[in-house]
Amino acid sequence: MIGSEQEHTCVVGLAWGDEGKGKIVDLLCESYDLVVRYNGGANAGHTVCVGDERFALHLLPSGVLHPEKVSVIGPGVVIDPHALLDEIDGLGERGVRVGDNLRISDRAHVVMPYHKIEDQLSEQNAHQGDRIGTTARGIGPCYADKMRRSSAVRICDLVCFETLEPRLRDIIRAKRDGLSAVYGQQITLDSDAIVASLREAAERLLPFVADTTALLHEAHNAGRRILFEGANGTLLDIDHGTYPFVTSSGTTANSVAPGAGVPARTVANVLGVTKAYATRVGKGPFASELDNDIGDRIRKQGNEYGTTTGRPRRCGWFDAVATGYSVRLGGVTEIALMHLDTLAGFERVGICVGYRLDGREVTAPPAHADQLERVEPVFEMLDGWSEDPSRVESLDALPDNAKRYMERIETAVGVPITIVSVGPERSQTIIADTRTMTAVPRATVT
């Protein structure tokens, strides 16, 4: 890989997920040869609108809507085989065939039924304040088993099912006993049914399984351009997010290297996606939240309901403190600002430009959730705009107040806004001077 310089890009969410990454990845696809998921699992919900059709993707990279691109599910992803097959079948019913264009890493881990049960039990049994509000997709328990190693199942294990089966039966037994003891109730796990259903799914998934690490190295050396698709959002990062109200994987561009199996310097452009306001699903601190009529109005105008769980999203003003932190943390080089149209009609629009904690100003989100819960947002209010920008095609043609609003965000977070989304369709996107679509691949094959 050394010496190769074509510009690969990573798209990440700068908040708590649901920023609109699916639309951006779909848009950028044209300029790339491969699209790679490197973290998370079926907890993600990427919505892509093509014409009148709306696709909700969870495990599949958004590249699958472009059959000529290679879509890769990397080693850092946790895969629920049935959720993945349902997604593939669902697309097939709508005329989108997933075949040779999909490659699944043999190193990725498998989400098992007992992971989902444990996810639910742990939420149900937690004290109200300790509930994370997970998507119940088994993500945390699966990553926990990955770290524990002895109880983990990987995609490559499915290839040698005969070897896996006795070990899997032991794991199921241990899970049943462990969960029953911890939660004080008899947990039923039918080993025969779990084994049979996994075997069936494995047979269908095997044609997609590959050494995707080698595949990416070869693609890079052949001068092909790679788009890495981050799932969830920076503030849900396991190490740097609003812990413990986070997901269980690395969600920034920094996790591309371990999650996809490429060197740390692979990514040249990091496109951070954020809405023109803030949203969050699930529990956890949210400094700029508006638990009032304005928040309700943003939810209504932006149709802010979860893609994966359908839950209403909490809404608030744009948080420049949290977004600036996400930008610095993940080496973000430019921003795609989504849902600008949703803010049309608000007399005033706010940006959270500071946090005050116990009377002092803090410049970044504090580590402790209790402290973050207590910060007081410092809002800067700007004049809004009444003109609907949903048919605007250039930055210049945006309402003046919308331009001023965007300029204030740029100064506050320190990177330029190069893409602006003014509606769900591909055509409702204003593309300014972005390296992610225009930079010419420069390959030095070694």
- The footprint of ligand IMP (CB under 6 A) covers 16-18, 43-45, 132-135, 137, 139-140, 231-232, 236, 245, 247-248, 281-282
- Name the minimum Å distance from CB 317 to ligand IMP: 19
Of 140 and 259, CB closest to ligand IMP? 140
- Name the minimum Å distance from CB 98 to ligand IMP: 21
Tell whether the torsion through CA atoms of 22, 13, 282 and 121 is positive or negative: positive
List b or e across 59-72, with b for residues whose CB sees 16 or more CB atoms inside 10 angstroms: bbbbbbbbeebbbb
Q: 3-state DSSP: the chain helix, strand, coil percent, rounded to 5? A: 40, 20, 40
Of 135 and 333, CB closest to ligand IMP? 135
Dump strand ranges (E) for 253-384: 267-275, 278-280, 314-316, 318-319, 334-338, 348-357, 360-362, 376-383
Reading the block at residue 354, the tokens are 């500071």
SS3 of 70-134: the string is: EEEECCCCEECHHHHHHHHHHHHHCCCCCCCCEEEECCCEECCHHHHHHHHHHHHHCCHHHCCCC
Of 93 and 370, CB closest to ligand IMP? 370
Q: Residues 107, 213: contact at Cβ < 8 Å? A: yes
Of 234 and 247, CB closest to ligand IMP? 247
**Annotated active-site residue in 18, 33, 119, 145:** 18
Helix (H, G, I), strand (E, B) or coil at 325: helix
Of 134 and 434, CB closest to ligand IMP? 134
Of 140 and 316, CB closest to ligand IMP? 140
- Name the minimum Å distance from CB 309 to ligand IMP: 7
Inter-CA distances, 199 with 141, 193, 204, 230, 281, Å: 21, 10, 9, 29, 34
- Name the minimum Å distance from CB 146 to ligand IMP: 14
276/339 Cα distance (integer angstroms): 6
348/105 Cα distance (integer angstroms): 48
Ranges of H-type helices in 303-414: 320-330, 369-374, 400-413
- Name the minimum Å distance from CB 266 to ligand IMP: 23
Active site includes 319? no
Inter-CA distances, 99 with 65, 85, 92, 157, 209, Å: 12, 12, 10, 22, 11
Q: Which residue has the tokens 């949210």?
A: 286
Active site includes 18? yes
162/268 Cα distance (integer angstroms): 43
82/180 Cα distance (integer angstroms): 25
Reading the block at residue 405, the tokens are 């609003």
Specify the DSSP element, H or E, that contains 54.
strand 53-57
Of 247 and 418, CB closest to ligand IMP? 247
Q: Residues 179, 114: contact at Cβ < 8 Å? A: yes
- Name the minimum Å distance from CB 402 to ligand IMP: 26
Residues 6+ apart with CB under 8 A from 90: none
Beta bridge partners of 362: 355
Of 35 and 139, CB closest to ligand IMP? 139
**Annotated active-site residue in 8, 46, 58, 66:** 46
What residues are annotated to the active site?
A: 18, 46
